[in-house]
Amino acid sequence: MSWHPQYRSSKFRHVYGKPASKDKCYDCVPITHSVHDNHFCAVNPHFIAVVTECAGGGAFLVIPIQQTGKLDPHYPKICGHKGNVLDIKWNPFNDFVIASCSEDTTVKIWDIPKDLLTKNITNPKKELLGHARRVGLIEWHPTANNILFSSGYDYKIMIWNLDNKEAVILNPVKILDAHKDVVLSMSFNTDGSLLATACRDRKIRLIDPRAGTVLQEASYKSHRVNKVLFLGNMKKLFSTGTSRWNNRQIALWDQNDLSMPLLEEDLDGSSGLLFPFYDSDTHMLYVAGKGDGNIRYYEISPEKPYLNYLMEYRSHLPQKGIGMMPKRGLEVSACEIFRFYKLIPAKSLIEPISMIVPRWSESYQEDIYPLTTGDKPALTAQEWLNGINKGPLLVSLRPGSGAVNSLPQFLEPEPLMKTTDLSQPQGWGGRMPLEDMQKPSETEDSRKRPKVQEKFLKNERTWLSNGFDIFERPPPKNENELLQMFYQQQEEIRRLREMVNQRNVQIKQLELELKNLCTNTGRY
């Protein structure tokens, strides 16, 4: 019997998965038959990209996110690779730029037009040539603009600066040569100062990417790792893999001590790879298995037992790969906190699955949508290469709200006291006598009183409803009037709560803006 209670108080305990209806799915999509262990799908608020079958080379499709239903069999492709495409990733700071890597040893950067594609795209914006063997993984830096990491079967990780104006880049800015086998997974911490890798030699490594040094190395024998993931700012790593008895296994690690896992748990005896996804806003962890139809989800806590099982989304349709929508593309009016795009090659179908928190209210739910990562970079490529670290710039998901790095417009407060003229003589060596100090404040108070009274009268008028003051209106005469008054008071309470929530968001925005300004001034 576990020492921790069986039931926990959590706002995400009843999260459920809701598959999209047939007309909201993407049908007749020729999904790749490659056996490479990758997602094969990348999503942003404008497009969904999926690796597809293509004769005589590698290709992928880019479909507008709203273009659901059956896909035209002659729909244009991005087909500039000479070998199978193994991984695709959207630029987190530009929804119209995507990177792809292939068995032809190249990495290519593509510009996607804002209008509908009318013909195949074969000429990339940039081509990165550095790997000696096929390239299996690519990752964009989470906070620095135009920094791309690529990993190949030559056991090397290369860092590319895409601010380089050349169309063909031959030399990366840095080569990480710390692995003795193929890198299976890469993950950054929140500010991108650390890189965690999972290698085919069964080891997890924690690397400083700019120095190229290995800070930590896990050689735990009973956990053969396949995928590794940073858990936001919790200073923990999560990994999926297999046990000695070939059971699928998950493990939780302390970032500062990789000698032993904090937690180790066998899931089942299936053979498909487990893909982990982490939502740092809700501290929820999702685990989807290749070849499975289900998605398990957990809640991460900083203390024991660390990993709290919530629920499991079940489906009879197995997934080959899976993509995820960034938080800024979610439907907040439906209390959607995560969205997957499930690749089902048996039916040539891409099925969106929304993870929803059940709520009765239709208003914006502040508690499940904290400030989240936006689409603006915190650093330039050169700043990051010079050694500067900075967390992501955050935005609010509330409809109509702006980015955190833009200050809200407020009226300038009136000064409480006029500034004293330093040229005037003052008593006691420049100090103002106490009596003289009190006089300006008294006059200011007398000036302030009419203004305060005017504001109070204006506020009083806002409480008027249907010609009556809601505090002094006559009592209701019948049940209908009583219900009407009740509903009006409920609406007033809801409006006041919205005002308080807006003020809280503005306060958080100002605090983060001040923090960003302090960081910038400290840097210079």
Statement: residue 458 has pLDDT above 70:
no
List the single range of 262-276, 367-381, 492-506 with lowest mean pLDDT: 492-506
pLDDT in tens, 84-97: 999 999 999 999 99
List the single range of 283-297, 317-331, 500-514 with lowest mean pLDDT: 500-514
pLDDT in tens, 73-86: 999 999 989 999 99
DSSP letters spanning 433-460? PHHHHHHHHHHHHHHHHHHHHHHHHHHH
pLDDT, the chain, mean: 84
- Closest to 147 (Cα-Cα) out of 402, 389, 395, 394: 389
- Comparing 80 with 353, the larger pLDDT belongs to 353
- Overall average pLDDT of the 336-345 stretch: 96
Look up residue 403 and give its DSSP letter: B
Statement: residue 406 has pLDDT above 60:
no
- Overall average pLDDT of the 156-173 stretch: 94
Phi first, then psi, for residue 495 (nearest 5°) are: -65, -40
Q: CB pairs under 8 A, 24+ apart, for 336-341?
A: 337/12, 337/15, 337/279, 337/281, 337/282, 337/284, 337/368, 337/369, 338/277, 338/279, 338/282, 338/284, 338/286, 340/277, 340/286, 340/288, 340/295, 341/41, 341/43, 341/48
- Comparing 400 with 201, the larger pLDDT belongs to 201
Statement: residue 8 has pLDDT above 60:
yes
Q: Is residue 321 a contact partner of residue 40, using CB atoms and an 8 Å limit? A: yes
- Overall average pLDDT of the 398-421 stretch: 45
Structure confidence at residue 271 (pLDDT): 82
- Comparing 395 with 517, the larger pLDDT belongs to 395
Structure confidence at residue 413 (pLDDT): 34
- Comparing 419 with 46, the larger pLDDT belongs to 46
d(CA 265, CA 283): 19
- Overall average pLDDT of the 93-107 stretch: 96
pLDDT in tens, 22-58: 999 999 999 998 888 899 999 999 999 999 988 777 8
**16-373 in CATH: which number?**
2.130.10.10
